């Protein structure tokens, strides 16, 4: 399909979309970590960029017109750092829930190391919403956000403790998962006991290969090649190498495949490579038609 837009800035592209149920929003550029594998420098976010509450509302109105979108998810930067006047991330998540979408965010977990803040954050959400909340913890050896000796993460332990204290009907609304980046290096693996412990408590893990993008360009010698079956090119990532990984790698060879649509500020993008495809509040008919089917597919 050719995407058309009146503005010359919005490049016409032919593209295949992996997940049309997801609206990804890059919420802010700020982060309190300095991970060696951070992708932000390759993403079209200006230093200090922050989405406004008003921009989220406009995006949700756009989502109402995109039939396949079910889930609105924040990435960053670190989403828990977002504030605007007296609002914080929970207010944004509740706004998404009020609009009828499943809210979610990815976090480095630092906010949840304090148990009382963890209680207040999720308590406020659960008091006002009955829609599940997806929380993805980026937890791996690059983030340095767990105790390597003990194989435990305080942030995750606090959320699990909270879930155990909540009534079942509320606890079930907190959908917690871990995303771990794995390089070729065996040292990048999470301890098996740690994975087993958290999986036994209902936490799902997914493992993604270190990609030579952003700051990780300097670590390209450690990046697995998920398009290969060669154990030398996969290294420690070999045990997680599945068909989905090969599909992802194929994407990097095909300029016109993307995972999902992404909002940054006033613009919607498809990534890898980055293309502006629409302006906030002004979805072209071609995008609306593309997202009119709830089934996964290509356009
Ligand atoms: S990878 Fe995530 S947690 Fe680490 S510096 Fe980048 S945005 Fe922050």
pLDDT tens digit sequence for 28-53: 999 999 999 999 999 999 999 999 99
| Spacing, Cα 261 to ligand 1 middle (Å) | 20
Domain that holds residue 156: 16-290
3-state secondary structure string, 114-158?
Answer: CHHHHHHHHHHHHHHCCCCEEEEEECCCCCCCCECCCCECHHHHH
State whether the beta carbon of 38 lies less than 6 angstroms from ligand 1: yes
User: Which of 26, 28, 29, 31 best tests ligand 1's pocket when mutated (most atoms within 8 Å of CB)?
Assistant: 31
Domain count along the chain: 1
Examine the pLDDT at 281 and tell me if it is beyond 60.
yes
- Residue 207: the pLDDT is 95
Examine the pLDDT at 58 and tell me if it is beyond 90.
yes
Q: Which residues pair with 258 in a beta bridge?
A: 17
Q: How far is CA 129 from the centre of its chain?
A: 21
Rounded to an integer, the average pLDDT of 255-268 is 89
State whether the beta carbon of 31 lies less than 6 angstroms from ligand 1: yes
CB atoms within 10 A of CB 47: 7
Strands 257-258 and 275-279: unpaired
| Spacing, Cα 84 to ligand 1 middle (Å) | 21
Cis before 273 (ω within 30): yes
- Residue 141: the pLDDT is 94
Structure tokens at 82: 């977002």
Stronger pLDDT, 250 or 273, i.e. the higher one: 273
Q: Give backbone dihedrals phi and psi of 160, rounded to 5 degrees, phi first.
A: -65, -45
pTM of the entire structure?
0.91
Alpha carbon nearest to ligand 1 atom 1, residue: 38
Mean residue pLDDT of the chain comes to 90
Is 296 inside any structural domain? no
Is 7 inside any structural domain? no
| Direct distance between the N- and C-terminal alpha carbons of the chain, in angstroms, rounded to an integer | 5
Task: Note whether 239 and 1 are within 8 A (CB).
Answer: no
Q: Which residues pair with 237 in a beta bridge?
A: none
Is 297 inside any structural domain? no
Which residues are CB-neighbours of 210 under 8 A, at least 6 positions away?
37, 142, 181, 182, 183, 184, 188, 216, 219, 222, 223, 224, 237
| Spacing, Cα 33 to ligand 1 middle (Å) | 6
Examine the pLDDT at 153 and tell me if it is beyond 90.
yes
Rounded to an integer, the average pLDDT of 264-292 is 92
- Residue 228: the pLDDT is 86
State whether the beta carbon of 140 lies less than 6 angstroms from ligand 1: no
Is 150 inside any structural domain? yes
| Domain containing residue 155: CATH number | 3.20.20
CB atoms within 10 A of CB 204: 12
Is 295 inside any structural domain? no
User: Which of 32, 47, 75, 76 best tests ligand 1's pocket when mutated (most atoms within 8 Å of CB)?
Assistant: 76
Residue 13: pLDDT band (50, 70, 90) is low
Residue of 69, 88, 87, 86 whose CA lies nearest to 78: 88
Task: Note whether 153 and 147 are within 8 A (CB).
Answer: yes
Q: Which residues pair with 262 in a beta bridge?
A: 24, 269
Is 236 inside any structural domain? yes
| Spacing, Cα 39 to ligand 1 middle (Å) | 8
| Spacing, Cα 31 to ligand 1 middle (Å) | 6
Least confident of 64-68, 88-92, 273-277, 282-286: 273-277
Specify the 3-state DSSP secondary structure of 62: helix
Rounded to an integer, the average pLDDT of 7-27 is 77
| Spacing, Cα 267 to ligand 1 middle (Å) | 22
Residue 263: pLDDT band (50, 70, 90) is very high
Examine the pLDDT at 295 and tell me if it is beyond 80.
no
Rounded to an integer, the average pLDDT of 220-247 is 82
Sign of the torsion formed by the C-alpha atoms of 134, 140, 142 and 145: positive
Is 36 inside any structural domain? yes
| Spacing, Cα 275 to ligand 1 middle (Å) | 23
Per-residue pLDDT tens over the stretch 155-214: 999 999 999 999 999 999 999 999 999 999 999 999 999 999 999 999 999 999 999 999
Is 245 inside any structural domain? yes
Sheet containing strand 102-107, strands side by side: 204-209, 174-182, 133-138, 102-107, 71-75, 22-26, 261-264, 267-270, 275-279
- Residue 229: the pLDDT is 85
- Residue 3: the pLDDT is 46
């Amino acid at each position: 399909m050719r995407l058309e837009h009146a503005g010359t800035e919005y490049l016409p592209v032919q593209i295949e979309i992996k997940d049309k149920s997801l609206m990804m929003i890059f919420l802010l550029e700020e982060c309190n970590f300095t991970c060696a594998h951070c992708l932000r420098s390759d993403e079209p976010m200006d230093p200090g960029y922050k989405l406004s509450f008003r921009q989220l509302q406009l995006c949700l109105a756009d989502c109402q017109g995109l039939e396949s979108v079910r889930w609105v998810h924040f990435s960053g930067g670190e989403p828990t750092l977002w504030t605007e006047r007296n609002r914080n991330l929970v207010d944004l998540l509740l706004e998404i829930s009020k609009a009828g979408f499943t809210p979610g965010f990815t976090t480095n977990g630092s906010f949840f190391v304090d148990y009382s803040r963890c209680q207040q954050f999720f308590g406020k959400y659960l008091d006002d919403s009955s829609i599940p909340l997806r929380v993805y913890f980026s937890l791996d050896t690059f983030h340095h956000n767990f105790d390597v000796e003990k194989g435990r993460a305080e942030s995750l332990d606090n959320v699990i403790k909270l879930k155990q204290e909540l009534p079942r009907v509320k606890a079930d609304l907190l959908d917690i998962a871990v995303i771990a980046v794995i390089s070729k290096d065996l040292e990048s693996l999470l301890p098996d006991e740690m994975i087993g412990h958290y999986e036994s408590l209902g936490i799902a893990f997914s493992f993604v290969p270190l990609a030579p993008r952003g700051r990780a360009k300097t670590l390209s010698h450690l990046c697995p090649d998920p398009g290969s079956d060669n154990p030398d090119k996969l290294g420690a990532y070999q045990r997680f190498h599945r068909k989905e990984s090969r599909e992802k790698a194929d994407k990097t060879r095909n300029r016109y495949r993307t995972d999902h649509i992404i909002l940054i500020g006033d613009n919607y993008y498809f990534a890898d490579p980055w293309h502006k495809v629409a302006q906030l509040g002004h979805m072209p008919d071609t995008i609306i038609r593309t997202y009119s089917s709830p089934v996964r597919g290509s356009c």
